[in-house]
Structure formats: C-alpha cells, structure tokens
C-alpha cells in the first residue's frame, strides 16, 4: 500500500539555520505517528511542510499522494490541523468559530451544523456551544481547536504539541479524545516533547534532535533497543552529586549524571538499590521505575527533553 | 460550483462583524453629525460671512460635505487596513488559521480588501444620509457622491494593508496615522481648496487619493467639473487599489507561510 506521507531527504532552511536537515520517513494510513523532540528540533517546521503552509527547501515530500507545492489548496482541504497556538476568534462563540471554519472548506451550512453537533458531543463541549471563546479555559479552547480541525472530516489529522501548557487533568481529557480518534482509524500526526504523550498515543514515532531523526520505531521497541530494563534514580542534596561521579559510574555499565539527579540503568532495580546502600551512598531519595522514552532520548542525545 | 476563496474570507469577516458591529455603529453616525455641525455650520458661518460669493460658488457647508465624506472614507479604509491586519497576523493570528484551510494568500488578501471596502460603503452610506439630513445636497446626489468615496476608501485599504503587513510590531501604526493619514485628511482639499496650500505642497496633495476623490465627489454633489479629468482620477484610484493590493502578497507570504 502506498504511504499517506512519504518524505525523502526533506529539508527546511531559514537563512543560515537548517531547521530540518534531510529527514526520511513514511506514515501509513490509519497509523498514529509521532515526532518527539525538544523545542527547536524541527518538529513544527516539518508539520508546516506537511500541512502545505510552508514550502520545502529541499528533498521530496508527498502527502495523500499530492505535492504540497502545487496542490496546496486541494491538499489542505483534506487535512485537519491543530496548530501550536489556538488562534481562535476570541470574540465569537464556539459555534460561530466552527461555522466560520467549515465555510472556508465550502461546506454547506446545514452540513456544518450537523457536524458541529457531532463534534461538540465528541469534545464534550455541548453546553459551551454559545459561549464566547474568551470565557473558556485553556483546555476547553484546545478542544475547540481539535473540533475545528475535524470539521471537514480530514483524511489526515496533524496536531502540533496538542497538550503543551495544559494542566494534567486537561491533558488526560485530550488524550482520551485523541485515543478515540485513533481507534476510529483516523491517521494522526502528533508532535510532542512529552514522552508520556508519545507513549500513550503513538504507534510509531521518530525522535528528532537538531533537525535530524536520531531513531525510529514503536515506543516499546525504542525503549527495548536503547534503554532496556529499569532505572534507579538517585537524588542528592545540592553540590554533593558532582563529588560522587566516579562512585556512581562504577555501579553499572550505563549511568547518567544530570544536574539534579543520577540515573542508573539496570536489569534489576532492587539489586542495584541494594548495591547503592552497601557502597555507603546516602541519596536523599531513591526511585525505581521502568525506562521511558525520556531515557531513550537522553541516551541518544545526551540531553533531556524538557529543560 | 466552488465558492471563490476570497468570498469565503468575505463571509468570515461578515460573520465576525455581525457579532461586533455595535462598537462601530455609533461612531459611524456621530462622526458625520459632529463634523457637519462643528465645521460646516459653526465654522461655515464665519467663512460664509467673509466670502460673499461662497467657495467655488456655494456655501461652506455645501463645499465641505462631499469633502469630508471622502476624507472619512479614507480614514475608514486606513483603519480597516491597519488594526484588523495587525490582529489577524500578530494578535489573534486568525490569518494563520485561515491559511491552514484551502484559503491561500491571494484569496486572503482579496477577501480582506473586499470586506474592508464593504465597510467603507456602510460608513459612507450613513455619512451620505447625514449630509442629506443637513439639507446640503439631495439624497440622490449625496448617495452618488459615495462612489468616489468608496474608491478612495478601497485605495487606502490596499495601501495601509501593504504597509501593515511589513510591520513587525504595532508601533509603526500610530506613526502612520499621525504622519500620513491625518495630514492627508486635513490637506487634500476636503476642508479648503488645495490652491490655498503653498505652491510646493500642492503637488503632494495632488498625488493623494483623497484629492481625486474629493474633486469627483464634489462635482457630483454640487455640479461643476472636477479639476482633473474624471476618468484619469478613477484610473488613478483603481491603480492604487490593484497596485498596493498586489504588493501585499509577497511580504504576507514570507511572514505567514515562511
């Protein structure tokens, strides 16, 4: 089957800055595909090229079998986009915002009204139909933007950092909605710098750093490949950590010393904690956990995702 | 058949206006009433007392009315090309939202100019009704005089938009209104004939769209022939609309779809 998106040596250059540096990836229909990386990794630039709102600087890109450079309007009519910023019309009601957006796609008013009923139900904002955007919370606005992006029943739904800046509860509501979309078979493209978001929502993802793809796979396979097993996190009082570098590094083949804590990668967290105690180290707190994509990112780039 | 992209933008702007018109409607009425009363009736009595033959053969109020109709349309066009564009690009970023839909830069610009011109029409119709109420010119002539006013308004929508899309921040706009719009309002023949200006300044007045609109509008409202051949003025105003409309496209494309 031909992929929904195919990028070959895709590049984006702004003046002297190479934001996207020759990346290759493919996204299949029905897949939920993630771009994980810190700010400035090139995720948003990639999204804008896919969304046909930013021309590519080099390489090749095909989206839904179309060339964004020549078929921009046709392509955009089949996409749904949730940009990083909400950019709703704050003075208008939820319903007016959705009606206005649907009309950009030349849908009939009756068709849009029907769709608004469904979508408000879906994003759980039925009772906010006539509320002005400026009266809504951040999480609600985000859900309106998601409804807006779905108004034209897109073949591909692009979300640029859908939950950045939201409180944990609002994030979980959003994740739940996006998970449902995924179950309905909607192809999702999600950028995020939250590893838990990527783990929850993405079938497959690429990890981006400085404009390049540094790894690709399912969340599980990436963890298995780059950060298998468990992690013991040790926190020490300020200043102490630097003096312990060599002692901590001798505890396991792989360790990471961060600004505020040390990570020890291990097959058996409990045994490692035993060893820590035996060697006379006295951390303030000890935490044993499974490895996550954050550890994969750290392993690949030597840096944390969210500083 | 598919609706042209620019008309989809026009409809969106109309939808926004339907929810927010209350703020602007009072000033649309009040502006002409205040100008006509203060300048036309108040100041006009003094002018008329000094000029037994009238200005160009008519009373000051009659001379003034088509002038401020056009000057007011010019100001309306400038505001539409300034604040809404600034908001669409930098504040609410609703223009970015549009560009994620099938709307492209050209449709965006054209729809914006169409709608802003429709706003100029609304404001000018109200203005003409007030002029008629002051019994300066019959309603029909007042309404006909709107034609040139609308062209001037549209020319300023284009020109101001072309300026605003190049701004990185808002501070350029107050300067623009102080040093471009206000002088154009005062010195382009709306309040007094440009022959009163120093010689060196007259050519400057001559290139403003307001001057051409005022001449046309005045000749319709009170008769007589305009100083510049009518079709030259119309062609000149159309050139402003199209020319400045075209130069909006490139900077907008660079800013919104980098």
Q: What is the pLDDT of residues A34-74, one digit of tens each?
A: 999 888 899 999 999 999 999 999 999 999 999 999 999 99
- What's the pLDDT score for residue A195? 83
Check A53 against B8: CB less than 8 A apart.
no
Distance CA B179, CA B181 (A): 6
Q: Cβ(B78)–Cβ(B238) under 8 Å?
A: no
Question: Which backbone phi and psi does B87 adopt, to 5 degrees?
Answer: -65, -45
In this prediction, what percent of chain B has a pLDDT beyond 70?
A: 100
Distance from CA of A150 to the nearest CA of B (A): 11
For A222-253, the pLDDT digits (tens) are 999 998 889 999 998 877 888 888 888 888 88
> How many CA atoms, within 13 angstroms, populate the side-chain half-sphere of residue B229?
3
What is the mean predicted confidence (pLDDT) over A302-307?
69
pLDDT at B219 > cutoff 70? yes
Phi-psi region of A15 (alpha: psi -120 to 50; beta: other; left: phi over 0): left
Check if CATH label 3.40.47.10 holds for domain A5-223: no
In chain B, where the domains are located: 5-256
Q: What ipTM score was computed for the predicted complex, to two decimals?
A: 0.92
For B173-186, the pLDDT digits (tens) are 999 999 999 999 99
What is the mean predicted confidence (pLDDT) over B18-34?
88
How far is the CA of A297 from the CAs of A233, A265, A305, B87, in angstroms? Answer: 16, 14, 7, 39
pLDDT at A304 > cutoff 80? no
The angle subtended at Cα A86 by Cα A85 and Cα A91, nearest 5°, is 135
pLDDT at B231 > cutoff 60? yes
Check B104 against A72: CB less than 8 A apart.
yes
Q: Where in chain A is the domain with CATH 3.30.70?
A: 229-290
Distance CA A50, CA A78 (A): 12
Of B2, B20, B257, the CB nearest to A106: B2
pTM: 0.91
Closest CA to A72 of B11, A64, A190: A64
- What's the pLDDT score for residue A307? 54
Residues in chain A with CB shorter than 8 Å from the CB of B2 are 106
pLDDT at B1 > cutoff 80? no
Check A96 against B99: CB less than 8 A apart.
no
Residues in chain A with CB shorter than 8 Å from the CB of B104 are 72-73
Q: Please give the structure tokens belonging to residue A186.
A: 């909607």
What is the mean predicted confidence (pLDDT) over B209-234?
92
Distance CA B36, CA B32 (A): 6
Residues in chain B with CB shorter than 8 Å from the CB of A92 are 15-16, 19
The size of chain A, in residues, is: 307
Check if CATH label 3.30.70 holds for domain A229-290: yes
Distance from CA of B235 to the nearest CA of A (A): 33
Distance from CA of A20 to the nearest CA of B (A): 13
Residue with structure tokens 């790894």?
A215
For B98-146, the pLDDT digits (tens) are 999 999 999 999 999 999 999 999 999 999 999 889 888 777 888 888 9
What is the mean predicted confidence (pLDDT) over B28-54?
90
DSSP state of A161: S
pLDDT at A164 > cutoff 80? yes
Bridge-based pairing of strands A17-27 and A156-160 is unpaired
Of B5, B20, B258, the CB nearest to A14: B258
Mean pLDDT across chain A: 92
- Band (pLDDT 50/70/90 cuts) for residue B33 is very high
Q: CA-nearest residue of chain B to A53?
A: B257
């Amino acid at each position: 089957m031909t992929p929904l998106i195919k990028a070959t040596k895709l590049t984006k250059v702004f003046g002297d800055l190479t934001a996207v540096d020759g990346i290759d990836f493919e996204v299949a229909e029905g897949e939920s595909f993630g771009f994980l990386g810190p700010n400035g990794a090139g995720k948003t630039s990639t999204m804008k090229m896919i969304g046909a709102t930013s021309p590519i600087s080099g390489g090749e890109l095909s989206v839904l079998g179309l060339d964004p450079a020549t078929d921009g309007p046709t392509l955009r009519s089949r996409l749904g986009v949730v940009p990083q910023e909400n950019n709703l019309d704050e003075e208008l009601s939820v319903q007016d915002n959705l009606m206005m957006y649907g009309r950009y796609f030349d849908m009939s008013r009756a068709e849009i009204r029907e769709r608004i009923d469904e979508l408000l139900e879906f994003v759980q904002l039925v009772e906010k139909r006539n509320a002005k955007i400026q009266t809504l919370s951040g999480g609600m606005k985000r859900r309106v933007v998601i409804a807006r992006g779905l108004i034209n029943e897109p073949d591909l739904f692009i979300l640029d950092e859908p939950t950045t800046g939201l409180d944990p509860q609002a994030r979980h509501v959003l994740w739940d909605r996006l998970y449902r979309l995924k179950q309905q078979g909607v192809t999702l493209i999600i950028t995020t710098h939250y590893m838990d978001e990527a783990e929850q929502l993405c079938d497959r993802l690429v990890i981006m750093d400085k404009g390049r793809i540094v790894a690709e796979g399912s969340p599980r396979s990436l963890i298995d490949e780059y950060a298998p097993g468990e992690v013991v996190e040790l926190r020490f009082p300020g200043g102490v950590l630097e003096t312990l570098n060599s002692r901590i590094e001798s505890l396991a083949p792989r360790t990471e010393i961060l600004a505020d804590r040390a990570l020890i990668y291990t097959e058996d967290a409990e045994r490692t904690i035993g060893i820590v105690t035996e060697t006379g180290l006295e951390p303030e707190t000890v935490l044993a956990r499974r490895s996550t994509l954050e550890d994969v990112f750290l392993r690949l780039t030597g840096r944390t995702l969210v500083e | 058949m598919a609706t042209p992209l620019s008309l989809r933008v026009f409809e969106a702007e109309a939808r926004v206006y339907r929810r927010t018109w209350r703020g602007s409607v009072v000033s649309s009425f009040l502006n002409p009433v205040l100008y006509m009363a203060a300048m036309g009736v108040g100041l006009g009595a003094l002018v008329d007392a000094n000029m037994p033959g009238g200005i160009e053969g008519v009373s000051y109020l009659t001379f003034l009315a088509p002038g401020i109709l056009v000057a007011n349309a010019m100001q309306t066009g400038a505001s539409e090309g300034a604040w809404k564009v600034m908001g669409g690009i930098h504040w609410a970023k609703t223009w970015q939202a549009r560009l994620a839909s099938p709307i492209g830069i050209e449709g965006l610009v054209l729809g914006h100019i169409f709608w802003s011109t429709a706003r100029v029409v609304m404001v000018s119709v109200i203005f003409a009704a007030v002029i008629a109420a002051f019994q300066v010119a019959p309603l029909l002539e007042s309404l006909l005089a709107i034609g040139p006013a609308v062209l001037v308004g549209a020319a300023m929508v284009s020109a101001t938009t072309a300026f605003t899309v190049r701004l990185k921040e808002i501070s350029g706009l107050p300067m623009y209104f102080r040093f471009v719009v206000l002088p154009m309002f005062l010195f382009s023949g709306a309040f007094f004939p440009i022959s009163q200006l120093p010689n060196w300044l007259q050519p400057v007045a001559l290139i403003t769209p307001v001057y051409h609109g005022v001449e046309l509008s005045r000749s319709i409202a009170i008769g007589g022939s305009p100083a510049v051949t009518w079709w030259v003025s119309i062609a000149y105003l159309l050139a402003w609309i199209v020319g400045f409309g075209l130069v909006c496209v490139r900077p907008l494309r660079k800013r919104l779809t980098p």
